[in-house]
Amino acid sequence: MTDLLTGPEDMAFREEIRAFVAANLHPETRAKVARGAPLAREDFARWQRSLFERGWVAPAWPVEHGGPGWTARQRLIADEEMFRLHTPPLPGFGLKMIGPILMRFGSEAQQKRFLSGILSGDDWWCQGFSEPGAGSDLASLRTRAVRVAGGWRISGSKTWTTYAQYANWIFCLVRTDPEVKRQEGISMMLVDMTSEGVSRRPIRLMDGTEEVNEIFLDDVFVPDDLVVAEINKGWTYAKALLENERFGIGGIGRSKHLLQRVREMAVAAGRGADPEIVAALAGYEIDIMAIEATTLRLLSAAEAGVRIGAETSLLKIRGTEIQQGLTELMMDIAGPAALPERESACVEEPFENAAYQFLNWRKLSIYGGSNEIQRGILAGQVLGL
């Protein structure tokens, strides 16, 4: 794998990351990530604690809120190295979503109350956007908040809520004005998951995991101080959220990590020199390089003051296509060895997670705005169609 960022300063920074990971990553977690096995809460929490103590847990946050003060280039390098060394990718609901939203739009009291818990991992956040009837067409959401003394009462349901089983807070989009244009009647509220009226139903996925949930909100009270900024401006905040970390959405580190694993599998399967596999792997490596080069190019433009907006949708589209393609290649390499159930006695290492990852990663082109929605965004906002 060719690293593009290899100047002397880059290399020194890589060394710093490597030394830290070597000293702090728990071997069990490392082994799981290296094999594509499912991760438990403890894997994330333990790693988050280490990063937090080192001051590295929120690479993109400004220093005054607890960020490490890294440049965009350093963030890319850190991401690449962390993946390479099999660290678990921390869920972004607090660190990449509501944290930055609160920094930009939240009240001082909200920042004071929530940011430190997001950094330390003492608070776990989940995201209440999608609903059974509002997926790609998010603005059609129907969960309602009704004004009462001192706050609001929310009723409705949210779905695809990742890691809600670990979360003690959920940030929700709710309809506060049903009379106006759809996007203009939506607000963002922070809901304590232990509030009366909040319940959860796990959704079992086809790979057997229970990553996502349905959340029911039954007349849940939310005090005024947990409304994010202005009422009826939630859509604006949600859009800003989608722009956060926009240069990270290509998932370069994740793709490189997967490519490395698929390559190891090819060797384990005795197909390390199979011309078809070898050509496919080289092709994906070049595809990843193109995404990395594009990220760096957009980054230089942004640093020079060019406004980069919806262009980054291309990083999401291509990044997820590459990752899904790699899981397909993984299946081709594994053949029947991918078929025994993960926990069964007859698993064949290192293929025991191949089929599960293939199944699990179908989500990549669906979540965060499906790839069809992303193409629509490009066509509308960049191409002017």
Partner 1 sequence: MIHFDLPSDVALLLRDTAERFVAENYALPQRAEMLAAAPEEAPRLWSAMAELGWLAAPLQEAVGGLGLTPVHIVPLLEALGAGLVLEPVVPAMRCAATLARALPENEAATALEPVLSGERIEVLAEGAEGAPITATRDGDRVMLLGTAPLVPGGAAAAAFWAVAELGGAPILIRVAAEAASVAAFRLLDGQAAARVCFDGASCAVSEAVPDCAGAALDFGTDMGLVGALAECSGLIDALYRATLDYVKLREQFGRPIGRFQAVQHRMADMFIAREEARSMLHLAAEALESEDAGFRARLVSAARVKIADNARRALRDAVQLHGGMGVTDELAVGHMVKRLLVLTQLGGSRGAHLKRFRDTA
Interface ranges with partner 1 (CB under 8 A): 2, 4-7, 10, 278-279, 282-283, 285-287, 289-291, 293-294, 296-297, 299-301, 304, 311, 314, 317-318, 372, 374-376, 378-380, 382-385
Closest approach, Cβ 268 to partner 1, in A, equals 19
Nearer to partner 1, 4 or 229 (CB): 4
CA distance 130 to 140: 10
Residues 6+ apart with CB under 8 A from 379: 385
CA distance 269 to 319: 26
Closest approach, Cβ 6 to partner 1, in A, equals 5
Closest approach, Cβ 247 to partner 1, in A, equals 13
Helix/strand/coil for 254: helix
Nearer to partner 1, 4 or 45 (CB): 4
Conformational region of residue 156, where left means phi above 0, alpha means psi within -120 to 50, and beta covers everything else: left
Beta strands at 169-175 and 125-128: parallel, antiparallel or unpaired: parallel
- Say how many residues make up the chain: 385
Residues assigned a catalytic role: 245
Nearer to partner 1, 223 or 380 (CB): 380
Nearer to partner 1, 215 or 262 (CB): 262
CA distance 154 to 147: 9
Residue of 324, 206, 181 whose CA lies nearest to 255 = 324
Closest approach, Cβ 77 to partner 1, in A, equals 12
Conformational region of residue 131, where left means phi above 0, alpha means psi within -120 to 50, and beta covers everything else: beta
Closest approach, Cβ 373 to partner 1, in A, equals 11
Measure CA of the first residue to CA of the last residue in the chain; give whole Å. Answer: 38
Helix axes 8-24, 72-84, angle to 10 degrees: 40
Q: Which two tokens mark 88?
A: 């678990």
Closest approach, Cβ 382 to partner 1, in A, equals 7
Look-up of token digits 């899981």: 327
Nearer to partner 1, 158 or 318 (CB): 318
Nearer to partner 1, 69 or 380 (CB): 380
CA distance 166 to 170: 11
Exposure b/e, 141-153, CB count within 10 A at least 16 = b: bebbbeeeeebbb
What sign results for the dihedral spanned by CA atoms 351, 352, 356, 361?
negative
